[in-house]
Structure 1
Amino acid sequence: MNLALTVLEIVAPVFFMAGIGFTWVKAGFDYPIQFITRLAMTLAVPCLIFTALMKTNVDLGALWKLTLASVAGYGAIMIVGWVLLKISGLNTRTYWAPFIFGNTGNLGLPLALFAFGQPGLERAVVLLAVSAVLSFTIGIGLVAGRGSYDKMLREPMIWATLLGAVFLWQGWETPPFVTNTLELIGQMAIPLMLMTLGVAIARLSPTHVSTAIWLSVAKFGVCAVIGWGLAVIFDLDATSFGVLVLQLATPVAVTAYLLAEKYGADSQSVAGFVVVSTVISVAGLPLLLGLIL
């Protein structure tokens, strides 16, 4: 009973915040999603990442081990996803990238924060950075036939990660008034991302739902098992263990739909994958969290 209450306390705020965004749009209120997404990803999330890395007390070796485990995880998921799609005859341009990359930002960061506190958030930003780099290169390549290295280099989130890593490595800190300002801006990130997730889900028009159902269940199971196995192989500490498993098991991100729309893949099928995998995660992630805790 205590474990169930603990899990509920962790996941309820996440899905309630997303539900606020969903309800807001369904009630007919305006939500400038393009502006808010740009605000979050250009300003709030980079500030959150930089301050989390700069102030972390986690050993650099532990973060490096987590980084290697996450890269190995995405590589393994990529291989298993390709095999599943080939066996089922599904279009790899449409489904492969969404199968690999989960919603490590909008959903992964708050889950890590509520489940493991500040240490969990500090580790989760490492997974977010790895996912972002791979998404802008390999991910776009799978959808469009080519990577987008220039876009990666223009992404503030990537530079915030690199700068935060340098400050962590050197033991530097910004002046207190700068740190307080950056932390205040970074505190916007998680509420904005969760509400935007709900808004985006409300605006999507899913198709091929039956395919999306079995593929979403397969993605969740494959990613959770791979994350768990690699956490054991790399001998991660308890917090890193939980963060790796949760982050890899997150549902398809809304950005997968935007990429499919931009590069001419079947965006409506991807929309179905996004919506169904997110709904399944409402049940799946609490169960997974219960096993981890």
Structure 2
Amino acid sequence: MNLILTVLEIVAPVFLLAAIGFGWVKMGFEYKVEFVTRLAMTLSVPCLIFVALMNTEISPEALTTLSLAAALAYGLVTLGCFLMVKIARLDVRTYLAPLIFGNTGNLGLPLALFAFGDQGLGYAVVVFAIMAIYSFTFGVWLVSGGGSILKVLKEPLVAATLLGALFLWQGWETPTFLTNTLQLIGQMAIPLMLITLGVAVARLKPMSITRAVVLSLVKAAICIAAPVAVGLWLALDQIAFAVLVLQVATPVAVTSYLLAVKYEADSESVAGLVVVSTLLSVGYIPLTLAFLI
């Protein structure tokens, strides 16, 4: 009973904030997703990542091991999802990227924070950064054929990750007034992302629900098995192992839908994956978390 209450205390704020965004749209209120997303991804999330890395007490060696683990886990997920898409004879350009890249920002960061505190958040931003770099290169190339290393380097969250890693490695700290300012800006990130997730899901019009359910279930299985295998192989500590599994196992990211629209892939099918996988995650993420805490 205590375990159930603990899990509910962790996941309830995440889904309640998303429900606020969902209800906001259903009541007919205006919500400019493009503006809020830009604010989060160019300002609040980079500040969150930088401060989390700078203030973390995780050793640089542990972060290096986790980075390797995240890269290997996403490699296994890519292979598994590619085989699934090929066996199902689906369009690789439409389906592969959404199945690989989870909602590590909107869901993964707050889950790690609520479940494992600042140490969990420090680990989570590393996995998030690895996923973001992979998404901005291979993911964009997959959908459009136009991925670019230069584009990755221009992303504020990538710059914040590299700068935060440098401060962590050197043991540097920004002046107190600047740290407090960056913390305040970063604190906007999690509620903004969760509310925006609810808004985006409320506005999607999914098609092919049956296919989306099957693909989402198989994705969840692959995205849990891969980080578990890598984490056990690299003998990650308990919190790093749990955060890796949670991050990789997150449902399809809303950004996958936005990319599908931008590059004229089958956006309706991707919308179905976003909605269905997010709804299914209400069930499988608490179950997964129950085995990790």
Please tell me the residue identity of whatever aligns with 2:136: F
1:203 equivalent in alignment to 2:203: yes
| 1:118 Cα deviation after fit | 0.6
**In 1: Cα distance, 2:37 partner to 2:82 partner:** 30
1:244 corresponds to which residue? 244
Could you tell me which amino acid in structure 2 is paired with residue 124 of structure 1? Answer: A
Q: CA deviation at 1:32?
A: 1.2
C-alpha deviations, 1:192-218, integer Å up to 9, x for none?
Answer: 000000000001110111110000000
CA RMSD of aligned residues (A): 0.7
Q: Which residue of 1 aligns with 2:160?
A: 160
Q: Which residue number corresponds to residue 28 of structure 2? A: 28
Amino acid at match of 2:226: I
Runs (4+) of structure 1 exceeding 4 A deviation are: none
- 3-state DSSP of counterpart to 1:232: helix
Which residue of structure 1 aligns with residue 124 of structure 2?
A: 124
In structure 2, distance between residues paired with 1:34 and 1:137: 21
Residues 107-129 of structure 1, C-alpha deviation per residue, up to 9 Å, x if partnerless? 10000001111100010000110
Read off the aligned partner of 2:69 and give its amino acid letter: A
- Counterparts in 2 of 1:76-155, with a 5 A limit? 76-155=76-155
Residue 12 (str. 1) matches residue 12 (str. 2): yes
C-alpha distance in 1 between matches for 2:188 and 2:292: 28
Q: Deviations over 1:219-260 (max 9, x none)?
A: 011110111111111110111000000000000000000111
2:202 partner letter: A
Percent identity among equivalent residues?
Answer: 61
Partner of 2:56: 56
What TM-score does the superposition give when structure 1 sets the normalisation length? 0.99
Determine if the alignment matches structure 1 residue 184 to structure 2 residue 220: no
Structure 2: unaligned runs, 5 residues or longer: none
1:30-83, CA deviations, whole angstroms, 9 ceiling, x for partnerless residues? Answer: 111111111111110000000000011101111100000000011111111111
| TM-score scaled by length of structure 2 | 0.99
> Letter of the aligned partner of 1:231 in structure 2?
G
2:124 corresponds to which letter in structure 1? A
> Could you tell me how far apart the structure 2 residues matched to 1:258 and 1:30 are?
19
Distance 2:127 2:82 in 1: 22
The CA deviation at 1:154 is 1.4
1:34 and 1:94 map into 2 onto residues whose CA distance is: 22
Displacement of 1:264: 1.5
Q: Which position in structure 2 is the counterpart of 1:170?
A: 170
Q: Is residue 2:73 matched to residue 1:68?
A: no
Tell me, in whole angstroms, the C-alpha distance in 2 between the residues paired with 1:36 and 1:256: 17
| Separation (CA, whole Å) in 2 of partners of 1:22 and 1:75 | 33
Structure 1 runs not aligned, ≥5 long: none
Counterpart CA distance in 2 for 1:118 and 1:24 is: 30
Instruction: Give, in angstroms, the shift of residue 276 of structure 1.
Output: 0.3
- Give the drift of 1:263: 1.0
Shift of 1:146: 2.9
Q: Distance in 2 between matches of 1:164 and 1:131?
A: 17
Tell me, what secondary structure is at the counterpart of 2:50?
helix
1: CA distance, partners of 2:59 / 2:140: 33
CA distance in 1, matches of 2:25, 2:263: 27
SS in 2 for 1:63: helix
